[in-house]
A and B are shown apart, each in its own frame.
Chain A
Amino acid sequence: MTDLLIVQKFARSLLVALLVCPSLLVCGAFALADPAADARRRAQRAVPVTVTAEIAYLGRAYEDPLPLSLVDKVLTDNGVQGARSGINYNETTGNLLGHAYKLTEAVVPLADSLAEKAKALLASGTKLLVADLEPADLIAVADLPEARDAIILSIRSSSDDLRGHDCRANVFHIPPSFAMRADALAQYLLWKKWRRWFVITGKATEDQQYLAALKRAAGRFGAKIVEERDYTFEAGYRRTDDGHQQIQTQMPLLTQGAMDHDIVIAVDTAETFGDYLLWRTEVPRPVAGTHGLMPVAWHRSFEQYAAMQMQNRFQRSTGRTMTERDYAAWIAVRAIGEAVTRTGRADAASVRAYLLSSAFEVAGFKGIGLTFRAWDHQLRQPILLSGPRTLVSISPQPGFLHERNLTDTLGVDAPETTCRMPK
């Protein structure tokens, strides 16, 4: 770098520093802040606030399973960081339109009453909820009389039951369902002509739902599950001295003698064995499912459609990579932002009407606008097929056709839904 460039760089940072920090005290506090937020602060309020959207992030302090790989950090802010980032995006736009966004974060300890917290939020007028809740808790909140006219954007569960017979009129689902994931994977495997699947399933409740979705996908697209096994070993803690030695003998045992198969599909939402299958199966086969080649809404390796900008911004403001749950929370907050931006209103009835209207679409770095399916309030979205380190493909795959919307080849379509949405 030439001296001139260094001088320019210094001048630039000085200029930015002067703009952002009228006093040094204020400056320190924003050291790690999101640049979008910085821009907002720099600009201050361009237009006086006429509308304020009150959004709550409602979660519970669940004991989430630890990732098997030590490469993945154990997170205490999974999801909520996505919501914060979404608020920054909304605020940058809202600043220019006179719209403000307020985020109340409520992560309720397991010992405390979730219902009480939810009631308090709803009573205070916060009707736009980003729900980081397990299915039973989600339904409990959705069924509160106070939540009748609320909008609950679920960001945690992929359960097909929640989108089927357990659906609720006030609940919208951001993450892809298990059926969508399974279909996304199946389309790619069919394109590869890897039709013979060997599925190994863990003990978690969600694993059974994922397995059901895979069976459905195999039937829909013409694959065959040639062998189905359960993972029966006791999982144990992820770190042990010499742990790899036991795993090295366990995995061939688990996979030996299976019918001829093209691929092994791991169904392990609870992080007990999925990663261990890679390189350790009895016959050399690739692994897909919850591990290996994964159908996901977001992955840290994804960079297309301006996703890189999102990844960079997220990394800068949080010091870590964006997870699938962060992404779901980001989309949830941005969907509300779209409704407020386009309608100029932030009450739940207006937001709801807009989310379900044909005018609604939210951009989520997937190359197409994302919308909600009317029949089960599931967010329509292309699904990434990601390996552990790079993107492999994006489904729907070419050639899988649908009369209205190609992304509706993924998951439960209108004629098959078991959701009976009360009007």
Chain B
Amino acid sequence: MKMKVMPTMRLRSTSILAAMALTLALAHGAGAATIFVSNEKDNTVTILDSTKLEVIKVLKTSKRPRGIIITPDFKEVLVCAGDDNVVDVIDTDKLEIVRKLESGPDPELLDVDPANERVYIANEDDAMVTVLERASGKLIAEIPIGVEPEGMAVSPDNKVTVATSEASSMAHVIENSTLKVLANVLVDTRPRHAEFEPGGERVWVTAEIGATVSVIDRNSYKVVKKIGFEIPSIRRELIQPLGLRFSKDGKLAFVALGPANRVAVVDAATFEVKQYILVGQRPWHVEVDPDGSKLYVANGLTNDMTVIDIATLKPLKSVKVGRLPWGIAIKP
């Protein structure tokens, strides 16, 4: 498998270290990564080993764990626990919750900036974005945006953060230096997830009810492309784009389509849908293995995670996790 570290890769403070780890891992074949899956219904995070796909530990969390992300230094996994109004912080060595961040009401999704300094949290119940200092948990700002904030993505150059609001059908572009909203971009109904291309030129926003992905230009804040999905014998209303991630080389985008029970594979250059991969029921969020070889899909209704081989775009296996798996984070 061809694998190179793109110059446009996320500029994380530890990107060189990560790249080295990646190279090492590749030299030894597939590296054993640690996979963290948030289970909304169980109030747990299932921790698995990526080579054996066996459960290492089931960690009890605060109530209603959903959005989950790993910090750029891979030392901490942050989990939004919406019904307890906190973000649980899991130490990735100890595999234990070591502290809790006060996130503001009903945190749903979050992102950490590439400098590993700030956490941006969507407060779904409260029409705002909460910005915290990652190390201390100190409140930096609360930024009012549209109704029901959900998606959250910090740009790879750490200049802006894009938050989506489901009930306002907007992507809000926040300038990180001033914490002011620079632009509000109207997208289709119920935007759920925002994701920057690895190069940072464009941000992709999925719309659950609108059944599209809007590709927004980073500089003009204009929607430059709308990607639709059509699957033979699947009704339009069952196609609900939710989670989205890019392959490590940035060439493919993987879009979970919810009740359509499929993940769409989109060519990131032409915006053409290349393939639909059948997974479990109601896939929500997806994550790419740090070595770029696999895609993991959290299937909300079948309580499992589908493992897809990215080279062949074939599903390899389904692994049982907790009830209503929501999101995935991976430590190399």
Check: B168 CB closer than 8 A to any chain A CB: yes
Check: A12 CB closer than 8 A to any chain B CB: yes
Residues of B within 8 A of A11 (CB): 139
A306 and B124 within 8 A (CB):
yes
A363 and B209 within 8 A (CB):
yes
A8 and B237 within 8 A (CB):
no
Q: Which of B31-39, B53-61, B152-160, B184-192 contacts A (4 or more CB under 8 A)?
A: B184-192
- How many angstroms between the C-alpha atoms of A39 and B145 in the bound complex? 7
| Interface residue tally for chain A (C-beta within 8 Å) | 36
Of A92, A342, A406, the residue contacting B146 (CB under 8 A) is: A92
Contact residues, A309-346 vs B (CB, 8 A): 309, 312-313, 341-342
Check: A108 CB closer than 8 A to any chain B CB: no
Smallest Cβ distance from B104 to chain A, in angstroms? 7
Smallest Cβ distance from A4 to chain B, in angstroms? 8
- How many angstroms between the C-alpha atoms of A97 and B106 in the bound complex? 26
Smallest Cβ distance from A324 to chain B, in angstroms? 20
Residues of A within 8 A of B137 (CB): 8
Chain A positions 5 through 41: 1 when the CB is less than 8 Å from some CB of chain B, otherwise 0: 1001101100110010000000000000001101110
| Interface residue tally for chain B (C-beta within 8 Å) | 35
A361 and B209 within 8 A (CB):
yes
Check: A301 CB closer than 8 A to any chain B CB: no
Check: A368 CB closer than 8 A to any chain B CB: yes
A363 and B190 within 8 A (CB):
yes
A361 and B189 within 8 A (CB):
yes
Residues of A within 8 A of B165 (CB): 93
A363 and B189 within 8 A (CB):
yes
Chain B positions 88 through 106: 1 when the CB is less than 8 Å from some CB of chain A, otherwise 0: 0000000000000010101
- How many angstroms between the C-alpha atoms of A365 and B138 in the bound complex? 34
Main secondary structure of the interface of B (DSSP, over half): loop
Smallest Cβ distance from B291 to chain A, in angstroms? 35
A341 and B189 within 8 A (CB):
no
Residues of A within 8 A of B125 (CB): 35, 309, 312-313
Name the residue of chain B whose CB is nearest to the CB of A380. B237
Contact residues, A44-91 vs B (CB, 8 A): 46, 89
A96 and B168 within 8 A (CB):
yes
Residues of A within 8 A of B235 (CB): 406
Chain A positions 355 through 381: 1 when the CB is less than 8 Å from some CB of chain B, otherwise 0: 000000111000111000000000000
Of A9, A96, A306, the residue contacting B148 (CB under 8 A) is: A306
Check: B163 CB closer than 8 A to any chain A CB: no
B189 and A43 within 8 A (CB):
no
B237 and A369 within 8 A (CB):
yes
- How many angstroms between the C-alpha atoms of A363 and B172 in the bound complex? 19
A93 and B210 within 8 A (CB):
no
Residues of B within 8 A of A119 (CB): none
- How many angstroms between the C-alpha atoms of A96 and B185 in the bound complex? 9
Check: B18 CB closer than 8 A to any chain A CB: no
Main secondary structure of the interface of A (DSSP, over half): helix
Check: B195 CB closer than 8 A to any chain A CB: no
Smallest Cβ distance from B281 to chain A, in angstroms? 12
Check: A117 CB closer than 8 A to any chain B CB: no
Check: B174 CB closer than 8 A to any chain A CB: no
Residues of B within 8 A of A312 (CB): 106, 125
- How many angstroms between the C-alpha atoms of A341 and B259 in the bound complex? 27
A93 and B147 within 8 A (CB):
yes
Smallest Cβ distance from B332 to chain A, in angstroms? 32
- How many angstroms between the C-alpha atoms of A93 and B164 in the bound complex? 12
Name the residue of chain B whose CB is nearest to the CB of A1. B102
Check: B70 CB closer than 8 A to any chain A CB: no
Contact residues, B288-322 vs A (CB, 8 A): none
- How many angstroms between the C-alpha atoms of A181 and B144 in the bound complex? 39
Smallest Cβ distance from A87 to chain B, in angstroms? 12
Check: A261 CB closer than 8 A to any chain B CB: no
A residues whose Cβ falls under 8 Å from a Cβ of B: 5, 8-9, 11-12, 15-16, 19, 35-36, 38-40, 42-43, 46, 89, 92-93, 96-97, 306, 309, 312-313, 341-342, 361-363, 367-369, 405-407
Q: With A39-B128, A93-B165, A405-B237 given, can you name 4 additional A-B contacts, CB distance below 8 Å?
A: A40-B144, A96-B181, A361-B189, A363-B209
The 4 closest A-B pairs by CB, nearest first: A39-B144, A93-B168, A39-B127, A96-B184
